[in-house]
């Protein structure tokens, strides 16, 4: 086909006049195959001649016809017409219509005749046959090794439909050892239900019959299919391949064709028997097929085979991979699936331990015989294989000897299968090279004499190089189609052509291509048919084959697709780099757009990996890490950083199926690193988080120690959603556990200073995790921030746009929630957010704020988008600490100020939002409403706390106590309070807790244990803690004098009248005194209190608390303690003053102080002064002790 043949035609003028010759036209069925290449003369004298040349260039095989018409002025022969025909051999068919390898089943073949024997489908020869083997299943005569006289056995194929097919080529593997010239095997055919007729003669095809066999009466295979023994001992294949072109007129476009295989013997003698395997029919369509619908990088032209482990597989993890569907097809004819019986199939893996960059694999174990068959589509012009051997790839790959493994093999030789190393091989695959590491082989070769026509090989040879990483191998023809080129991860590596002999110095083998091979996945043919195993021991994920070499640009597109997908660092074809971890070529998408610019990222070209989507390549890689997996004695040193869209799942498939978040088309996030040693000098960054307050006496130093290695992360084609980032704990070698936090540090410039951002990492099972939304180009590193504890609140300055970012956390529970915080608002704090989780325009989320009139306001959007709100009845004073809270029980919301219920109303529930939880501002994407003032003790609960519960923990921090909530002030003093109002609250109800006291670098700790740390943004104003947690005295003085109290200038007096209701007092403060304090004024109390001041807990640590009064005037004040009293100092009740402990209130047994009470009533010798109400002798072991009057009655002096 396409070889021109020229014929000369003569025009003879037999007349008496001059003949004028006009145009010669060609018409008819195949007119395009015939062209007049040399025209005749236009005039021919009488009796003279002229010639013209007609050139036949067949465009297809078979008989080609046309009609020739010569215009002239002959009166009776104008035009002069005649027909021409040419015959052309058919080119090899481009497609495989039918392959039955008989591995998984008997193929639906039916036994027709069984005289004195029968056919048997099997995978073995009888045990008595010690030197034969086959490739998986096959058919043979049952009495093999001793067939009977006068045997006739016939087996029939299923009906085959050749509609729309032409250029049919039939081949099969045959094995026979019969009485020479007598007993034999042949193929018969039937078309359209007609009689069965012998197919071909010994003069047809290749290896088609030997000669006449008398038992058949026709030609057939007889004698011995493999008469020569190989150079090695043991079993080997005696099969050889036979093929024949099927007659076009008989078989083309027929809908019902059957074949039979018949074996017959006579009575003159016997031998071993016959067998056949791999019955294959190749064909071309009568109408050209379209290109494949999909292709890597959308390069559909000439694509013939595409096996990819993330498509075309119906198996689940751990199952035998029996069918792997080809993705490169337009019709069933060009769908070249790989199949295997369950006994021979590799294992399909799609799990967290056996994968290539989280992608599924075909997992081959060469302790067993495992491989897959493909009916065709394997071309040597340009193919790619992605694989990872479990063994080191070198000159002796694996544990067998010779050590060799074939990720991809082909059936090329017609005979001597055990010498056929066709395909891609690692290690010692063939003697045509010396020290080959990676080789592309074609057919068996001659070790002596001239090179064979159809043997070739090209390899990378090295006595020292080894590879132990994921390999993208690309084999392709050079531009002149004179040699093969081999690329490993983009870099061209081939350096040797196979030669005759075994020294590598013989005659170079002839360049040769193979086409549409019957292929093997995971094995080489020679190892399946007698030679040492050639099976892959490891994982294989993708095979791509083209029937023409791609351009350099398209090659780069395909390699970029594979590099991103499989976490492989690519190198330039002409790279001089010797370290496989270094990149020096651009990664590009299917449109040619650069997604990793190797020049722009020259300092960060190690371990390049990425995630992204390219629809034209069918690429959706949602999690990735470099597969450059190296370790030292401490742990991983490369290939350990994983990023996953939204979160990291066990596999990429799980991320795709489970996670609804995805990329836009041709959107990528790609990264590489600077390869700085993990054991290099650490970088320590320190910052004073209080420096902007301008108070030299206040410092809050925090620091971060980073590893030297830095990653550059590039976002391509728009905003990639948030990703989860993970590394092993062991790579942070600067850490000093246990107290502190692992952090990921983020910089826009690559310089990590106090202005850089960071994320706290959570530790699980030796791995660290965090979430981050990269924007544009950013740099990251990792390290350790020791946990620093201070007594602090946070001052928010709107001029600096200060806020704390807790990201997308802390949605409100619609069935019940509580939010609370201590605040001290400054001027210019109206219409500002204290706590929020909403967008800037407040179309969703919630807001806990100060209103435009200075009141406490809580607002949220419900499911319908309606605004629900509660506003306090009073304004919150400036420059004074107050406790604000809101509770919601699923229907009713209530505001509390200092524990006093204020506004309450029925409201519909809030709904979740993806906005960020902010402290001190609002609006995720464009923060606004910056608070002015101090905030402390922020708490978010998934339940509606009662008023008593709010009050119990208002003046103290909280902590977990055996899975329940406890007041930290009590817990720190090992106090078990009888009236513990929060003891029944599960700690799990606490969703977020920010006491502003614990910092890891510029991050405030979430003490709920849920890990929702708050990042301090633009904020270096960490302030002293000045909220009453609890109230403490700082000097001797009156109870109602602010100077008596620590931070009294910014606190309300303990037990004073409520802001909300002037008829109620705040009766649940916790108070600690250590000075001489006097209660002598009730002007700050409601009249209804009758001069009685109440507290929840009172600690008189030392000195004396005097409750003033006068017996002579009958005056005094009351002091009530509702929950707990510790008396290590003294309480002196003067006059009519009283100390009241309400029911259930505890007096600390170990109290070492005294209670003094003035004697009251009438002095006489006979009446006991009952008004004195003594309580017993003071000691530190028990309460309510018995006493005598002399023990407790005093004369005004202290005991």
Give the pLDDT of residue 87: 83
Mean residue pLDDT of the chain comes to 94
- Whether this model's pTM surpasses 0.75: yes
Q: How confident is the model at residue 1173 (pLDDT cuts 50, 70, 90)?
A: very low
Give the pLDDT of residue 509: 94
Give the pLDDT of residue 1171: 42
Phi-psi group of 689: left, alpha or beta (phi > 0 → left; psi -120 to 50 → alpha; rest → beta): alpha
**Beta strands at 892-897 and 900-906: parallel, antiparallel or unpaired:** antiparallel
Rounded to an integer, the average pLDDT of 633-660 is 97
Q: How confident is the model at residue 364 (pLDDT cuts 50, 70, 90)?
A: very high
Distance CA 1107, CA 1093 (A): 10
Rounded to an integer, the average pLDDT of 1098-1107 is 97
Q: Which two tokens stand for residue 257?
A: 């064709």
Give percent of the chain with pLDDT exceeding 90. 88
Residue carrying the six token digits 């640590």: 1101
Whether the per-residue pLDDT at 1107 is higher than 50: the answer is yes
Q: How confident is the model over 152-165, as pLDDT tens digits?
A: 999 999 999 999 99
What SS3 class is residue 1060?
A: coil
Whether the per-residue pLDDT at 1168 is higher than 50: the answer is no
Q: Which two tokens stand for residue 1107?
A: 């409750």
Give the pLDDT of residue 1002: 86
Nearest C-alpha neighbor of 906 from the set 951, 869, 943, 939: 869
For 619, list phi and psi in degrees, rounded to 5: -100, 125
Rounded to an integer, the average pLDDT of 536-563 is 98
Whether the per-residue pLDDT at 1177 is higher than 70: the answer is no
Give the pLDDT of residue 448: 79
CA trace torsion 875, 878, 879, 883 (10° rounding): 20
Distance CA 508, CA 506 (A): 6
Q: How confident is the model over 941-990, as pLDDT tens digits?
A: 999 999 999 999 999 999 999 999 999 999 999 999 999 999 999 999 99
Distance CA 610, CA 673 (A): 12
What SS3 class is residue 1158?
A: coil
Whether the per-residue pLDDT at 1164 is higher than 60: the answer is no
Query: What structural domains and CATH numbers belong to the chain?
Result: 5-88 (2.60.40.10), 95-285 (2.60.120.200), 297-566 (2.60.120.200), 581-676+704-781 (no CATH), 792-1024 (2.60.120.200), 1031-1192 (no CATH)
Give the pLDDT of residue 409: 97
What is the greatest pairwise CA distance in the chain? 183
Q: How confident is the model over 277-296, as pLDDT tens digits?
A: 999 999 999 999 999 999 99
Whether the per-residue pLDDT at 738 is higher than 90: the answer is no
Rounded to an integer, the average pLDDT of 592-615 is 98
Distance CA 727, CA 732 (A): 9
Rounded to an integer, the average pLDDT of 314-332 is 96
Give the pLDDT of residue 739: 74
Give the pLDDT of residue 1184: 67
Q: How confident is the model over 690-725, as pLDDT tens digits?
A: 999 999 999 999 998 999 999 999 999 999 999 999
Give the pLDDT of residue 840: 96
Q: How confident is the model at residue 1194 (pLDDT cuts 50, 70, 90)?
A: low
Give the pLDDT of residue 1169: 45
Rounded to an integer, the average pLDDT of 230-256 is 94
Mean pLDDT check: name the lowest of 561-565, 577-581, 731-735, 1143-1147. Answer: 731-735
Q: How confident is the model over 117-138, as pLDDT tens digits?
A: 999 999 999 999 989 999 999 9
Nearest C-alpha neighbor of 688 from the set 826, 797, 792: 792
What SS3 class is residue 417?
A: helix
Whether the per-residue pLDDT at 643 is higher than 50: the answer is yes
Q: How confident is the model at residue 1190 (pLDDT cuts 50, 70, 90)?
A: low
Residue carrying the six token digits 């195993």: 533
Rounded to an integer, the average pLDDT of 74-83 is 94
Distance CA 705, CA 682 (A): 6
CB 359 within 8 A of CB 533: no
Q: How confident is the model at residue 1170 (pLDDT cuts 50, 70, 90)?
A: very low
Give percent of the chain with pLDDT exceeding 70. 96
Rounded to an integer, the average pLDDT of 1048-1063 is 97
DSSP per-residue string spanning 217-276 = TEEEB-SBS--S--SS-S-EE--EEEEEEPPHHHHTT-S-EEEEEEEE--SS---SEEEE
Distance CA 277, CA 265 (A): 21
Q: How confident is the model over 1071-1101, as pLDDT tens digits?
A: 999 999 999 999 999 999 999 999 999 999 9
Q: Which two tokens stand for residue 1116?
A: 């005094």
Distance CA 743, CA 1007 (A): 17
Rounded to an integer, the average pLDDT of 337-356 is 97
Q: How confident is the model at residue 1057 (pLDDT cuts 50, 70, 90)?
A: very high
Q: Which two tokens stand for residue 1153?
A: 């102080």
CB 725 within 8 A of CB 641: yes
CB 860 within 8 A of CB 847: yes
């Amino acid at each position: 086909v396409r070889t021109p043949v020229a014929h000369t035609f003569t025009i003879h003028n037999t007349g008496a006049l001059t003949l004028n010759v006009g145009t010669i036209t060609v018409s008819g069925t195949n007119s395009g195959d015939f062209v007049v290449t040399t025209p005749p003369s236009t005039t021919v004298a009488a009796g003279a001649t002229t010639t013209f040349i007609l050139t036949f260039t067949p465009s297809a095989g078979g008989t080609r016809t046309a009609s020739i018409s010569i215009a002239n002025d002959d009166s009776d022969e104008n035009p002069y017409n005649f027909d021409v025909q040419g015959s052309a051999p058919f080119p090899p068919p481009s497609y495989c219509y039918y392959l039955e390898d008989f591995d998984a089943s008997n193929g639906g073949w039916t036994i027709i005749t069984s005289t004195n024997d029968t056919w048997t489908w099997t995978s073995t020869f009888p045990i008595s046959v010690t030197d034969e083997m086959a490739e998986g299943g096959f058919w043979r005569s049952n009495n093999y090794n001793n067939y009977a006289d006068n045997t006739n056995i016939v087996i029939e194929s299923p009906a085959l439909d050749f509609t729309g097919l032409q250029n049919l080529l039939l081949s099969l593997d045959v094995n026979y050892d019969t009485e020479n010239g007598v007993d034999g095997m042949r193929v018969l055919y039937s078309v359209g239900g007609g009689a069965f007729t012998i197919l071909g003669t010994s003069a047809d095809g290749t290896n088609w019959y030997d000669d006449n066999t008398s038992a058949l009466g026709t030609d057939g295979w007889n004698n011995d299919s493999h008469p020569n023994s190989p150079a090695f001992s043991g079993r080997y294949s005696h099969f050889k391949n036979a093929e024949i072109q099927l007659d076009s007129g008989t078989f083309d476009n027929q809908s019902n064709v059957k074949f039979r295989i018949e074996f017959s013997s006579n009575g003159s003698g016997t031998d071993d028997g016959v067998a056949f395997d791999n019955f294959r029919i190749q064909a071309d369509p009568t109408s050209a097929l379209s290109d494949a619908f999909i292709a890597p990088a959308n390069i559909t032209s000439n694509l013939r085979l595409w096996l990819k482990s993330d498509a075309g597989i119906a198996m689940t993890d751990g199952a035998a991979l029996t069918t792997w569907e080809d993705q490169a097809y337009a019709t069933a004819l060009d769908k070249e699936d790989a199949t295997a019986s369950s006994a021979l199939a590799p294992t399909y893996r799609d799990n967290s331990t056996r994968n290539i960059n989280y992608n599924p694999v075909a997992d081959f174990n060469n302790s067993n015989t495992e491989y897959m068959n493909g009916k065709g589509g394997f071309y040597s012009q340009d193919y790619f294989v992605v694989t990872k051997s479990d063994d080191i790839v070198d000159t002796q790959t694996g544990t067998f000897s010779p050590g060799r493994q074939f990720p991809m093999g082909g059936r090329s030789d017609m005979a001597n299968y055990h010498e056929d190393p066709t395909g891609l091989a690692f290690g010692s695959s063939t003697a045509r090279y010396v020290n080959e590491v990676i080789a592309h082989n074609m057919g068996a070769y001659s070790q002596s004499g001239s090179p064979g026509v159809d043997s070739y090989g090209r390899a990378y040879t090295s006595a020292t190089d080894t590879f132990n990483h994921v390999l993208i191998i690309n084999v392709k023809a050079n531009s002149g189609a004179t040699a093969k080129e081999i690329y490993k991860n983009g870099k061209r590596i081939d350096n040797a052509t196979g030669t005759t002999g075994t020294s590598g110095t013989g005659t170079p083998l002839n360049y040769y291509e193979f086409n549409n091979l019957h292929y093997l996945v995971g094995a080489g043919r020679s190892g399946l048919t007698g030679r040492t195993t050639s099976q892959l021991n490891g994982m294989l994920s993708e095979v791509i084959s083209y029937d023409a070499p791609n351009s350099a640009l398209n090659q780069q597109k395909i390699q970029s697709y594979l590099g991103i997908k499989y976490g492989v660092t690519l190198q330039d074809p002409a790279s001089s780099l010797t370290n496989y971890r270094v990149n020096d070529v651009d990664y590009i998408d299917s449109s040619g757009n650069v997604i990793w610019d190797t020049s722009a990222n020259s300092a960060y070209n190690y371990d390049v990996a990425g995630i992204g989507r390219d629809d034209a390549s069918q690429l959706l890689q949602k999690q990735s890490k470099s597969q450059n997996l190296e370790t030292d004695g401490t742990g991983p040193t490369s290939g350990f950083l994983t990023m996953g869209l939204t979160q990291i799942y066990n596999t990429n498939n799980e991320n795709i199926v489970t996670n609804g978040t995805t990329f836009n088309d041709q959107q990528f996030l790609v990264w590489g690193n600077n390869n700085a040693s993990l054991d290099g000098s650490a970088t320590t960054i320190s910052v004073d988080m209080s420096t902007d307050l301008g108070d030299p006496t206040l410092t809050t130093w925090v620091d971060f120690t980073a590893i030297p290695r830095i990653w550059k992360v590039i976002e391509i084609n728009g905003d990639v959603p948030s990703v989860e980032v993970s590394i092993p704990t062991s790579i942070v070698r600067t850490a000093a556990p246990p107290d502190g936090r692992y952090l990921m540090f983020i910089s826009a410039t690559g310089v990590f200073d106090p202005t850089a951002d960071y994320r706290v990492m959570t530790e699980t099972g030796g791995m660290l995790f965090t979430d981050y939304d990269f924007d544009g180009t950013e740099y990251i590193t990792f390290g350790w921030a020791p946990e620093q504890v201070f007594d602090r609140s946070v001052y928010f300055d709107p001029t600096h746009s200060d806020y704390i970012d807790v990201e997308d956390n802390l949605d409100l529970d619609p069935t019940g929630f509580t939010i609370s915080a201590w605040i001290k608002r400054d001027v210019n704090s109206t219409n500002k957010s204290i706590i929020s989780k909403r967008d800037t325009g407040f179309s969703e989320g919630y807001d806990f704020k100060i209103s435009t009139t200075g009141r406490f306001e809580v607002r949220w959007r419900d499911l319908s988008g309606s605004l629900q709100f509660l506003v306090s009845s009073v304004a919150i004073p400036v420059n004074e600490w107050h406790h604000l809270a809101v509770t919601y029980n699923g229907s009713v919301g209530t505001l509390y100020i200092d524990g006093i219920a204020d506004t309450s109303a029925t409201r519909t529930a809030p709904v979740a939002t993806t906005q960020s939880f902010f402290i001190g501002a609002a609006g995720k994407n464009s923060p606004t409403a910056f608070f002015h003032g101090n905030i402390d003790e922020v708490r978010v609960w998934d339940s509606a706390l009662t008023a008593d519960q709010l009050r119990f923990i208002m003046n103290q921090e909280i902590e977990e106590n055996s899975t329940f909530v406890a007041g930290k002030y009590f817990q720190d003093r090992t106090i078990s309070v009888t009236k513990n109002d929060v003891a029944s609250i599960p700690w799990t109800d606490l969703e977020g807790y920010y006491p502003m006291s614990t910092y890891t670098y510029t991050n405030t700790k979430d003490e709920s244990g849920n890990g929702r740390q708050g990042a301090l943004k633009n904020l270096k104003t960490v302030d002293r803690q000045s909220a009453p947690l609890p109230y403490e005295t700082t000097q001797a003085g009156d109870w109602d004098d602010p100077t008596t109290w620590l931070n009294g200038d910014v606190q309300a007096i303990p037990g004073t009248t409520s802001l909300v209701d002037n008829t109620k007092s705040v009766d649940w403060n916790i108070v600690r005194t250590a000075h001489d304090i006097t209660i002598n004024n009730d002007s700050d109390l409601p009249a209804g209190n009758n001069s009685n001041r109440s507290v929840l807990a009172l600690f008189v640590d030392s000195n004396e608390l005097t409750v003033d009064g006068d017996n002579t005037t009958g005056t005094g004040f009351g002091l009530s303690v509702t929950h707990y009293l510790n008396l290590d100092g003294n309480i002196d009740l003067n006059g009519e003053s009283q100390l009241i402990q309400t029911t259930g209130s505890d007096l600390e047994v170990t109290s070492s102080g005294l209670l003094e009470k003035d004697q009251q009533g009438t002095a006489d010798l006979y009446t006991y002064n009952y008004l004195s109400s003594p309580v017993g002798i003071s000691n530190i072991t028990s309460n309510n002790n018995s006493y005598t009057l002399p023990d407790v009655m005093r004369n005004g002096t202290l005991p």
